Amino acid sequence: MNIVIKNATIVDSSSAFNHQKVDIKIENGVITEIASNITADQYEMISLENLHVSSGWMDASVSFGEPGFEDRETIANGLNVAAKSGFTQIAYQPNTFPVIDSQSIVSFVKTKAASSATTLHPIGALTKGEEGTDLAEMFDMQNAGAIAFGDYKKSIANANLLKIGLQYTQDFGATVIAFCNDASIKGKGVVHEGVQSTLLGLKGIPPLAEEIVLARNLFLLEYTGGKMHVPTISTAKSVAMIKEAKAKGLQVTCSVAVHNLVLTDAVLSDFDTRFKVNPPVRDSIHQQALINGVLDGTIDVITSDHCTIDIEHKKMEFDMAKDGTIGLESAFGALLEILPLDVVIEKLQAAKSIFLNDSITIKVGEKADLTLFDPSKEWTFTKNDIMSKSKNSAFLNHKMKGYVYGICHNNQLIIK
């Protein structure tokens, strides 16, 4: 692949060309020149309106379904969606069938993704079958390519099991992903516990369900050492507790889902199951605390928490519908409605340094790992913009600011 990206404004705080408009020459997947007015015979010229370029983004939580749930999404199409949504890398959740809890299944999903422009990094299950009983074969999975270990949307009820997991993973430097939700406190709750749940007559999930498990997990981390990532926090107290843990010097990072940042439980008024997610979208007080946590650096990563659900499990009574929304296609445009561009780019890239120890920047000699976008285009996200096989988007008909063109990665250029 030999191309020249023309008149691109670079958004990369670690690059010497940050906020400069330049041409970028790429030869066989490597950046060979950055300058003004590059000309090159037999090179494809890429010219797009109001083009901006950053180092490639990584989504820290993506679920497609394959193997086992190909009716929801395949790896091949899902990675194409990720590429056209601006993500050069994704962390792939283990909630497949069979669960990604062994070396062979890690190898299988990596092989399925090997030729894609977007790189798939498997997350291995922390426990066998994600059943919370016995630890999975984590060392073997890491040798096969797993980048971290956690049970998707499942808290480890057995505190001693999580303690042993944190101790064991230190031997090979792995990160434990610890979702926080007390099932007994959540009970049959389906939405945030508050005024809106009372008005709608829906059972509520109190913030305590998340916070009590997070408090326990942070105590365990302080006791054992090791590295812990807390995915998709949703409450003001969770932000405060993680901020305090970081001040103590604990190796803890966390993420927030786009929908928890952008939406509140006010969207539930029509009982639309597209908004049924876990953790639930909460009220404006929690939403603002999450935004503040992003801005002050407490929250490290923003994830789409992309989770494909087939129509048979989503178009049904609210209590019975499965949790989850797709989010790759809408992530960037939704975030720019509430956050500055530089912050959005930083938080969409942060997972690379946490899970991959990757500090690739935009400079001559580096592999081209680039996301191409227009940060000012205003548009409305409609069903026609959904590229995923499943259509369960919480941002359908949402007004967006910022449009993704595609990516340049793995010696491939993918443009919508």
- Joined together, the tokens standing for residue 148 give 């971290």
Measured distance CA(357)–CA(353) in Å, rounded: 4
Measured distance CA(190)–CA(205) in Å, rounded: 6
Give residue 141's pLDDT. Answer: 98
Sequence spans of domains, the chain: 2-51+365-377+394-415, 56-355
Give residue 358's pLDDT. Answer: 87
Q: List, in sequence order, the alpha helices (H) in 225-305.
A: 236-247, 258-262, 284-295
Measured distance CA(188)–CA(183) in Å, rounded: 9
Residues 6+ apart with CB under 8 A from 144: 103, 104, 106, 107, 110
Measured distance CA(311)–CA(322) in Å, rounded: 10
* Sole residue written with tokens 């901006």: 52
User: pTM value?
Assistant: 0.97
Q: Active-site positions?
A: 305
Contact 177, 126 (CB under 8 A): yes
Decide which of 3.40.50.300, 2.40.50.140, 2.30.40.10, 3.30.830.10 is the CATH code for 2-51+365-377+394-415.
Answer: 2.30.40.10
- Joined together, the tokens standing for residue 9 give 């404004």
Positions in the chain short of pLDDT 50: none
Give residue 360's pLDDT. Answer: 81
Give residue 359's pLDDT. Answer: 81
Measured distance CA(91)–CA(58) in Å, rounded: 8
* Sole residue written with tokens 């064991």: 168
Strands (DSSP E) found in 1-136: 2-10, 21-27, 30-35, 44-46, 52-55, 57-63, 87-92, 119-124
Q: What letter represents residue 368's amino acid?
A: A
Q: What letter represents residue 335's amino acid?
A: L
Topology of domain 56-355 in CATH is TIM Barrel (3.20.20)
Residues 6+ apart with CB under 8 A from 115: none
Give residue 63's pLDDT. Answer: 98
- pLDDT single digits (tens) 13-64: 889 999 999 999 999 999 999 999 998 889 999 999 999 999 999 999 999 9
Give residue 331's pLDDT. Answer: 98
Give residue 398's pLDDT. Answer: 97
Measured distance CA(56)–CA(360) in Å, rounded: 9
Work out the burial of residue 171: count CB atoms within 10 Å of its CB; fewer than 13 is exposed, 13-18 middle, 19 or more buried.
exposed
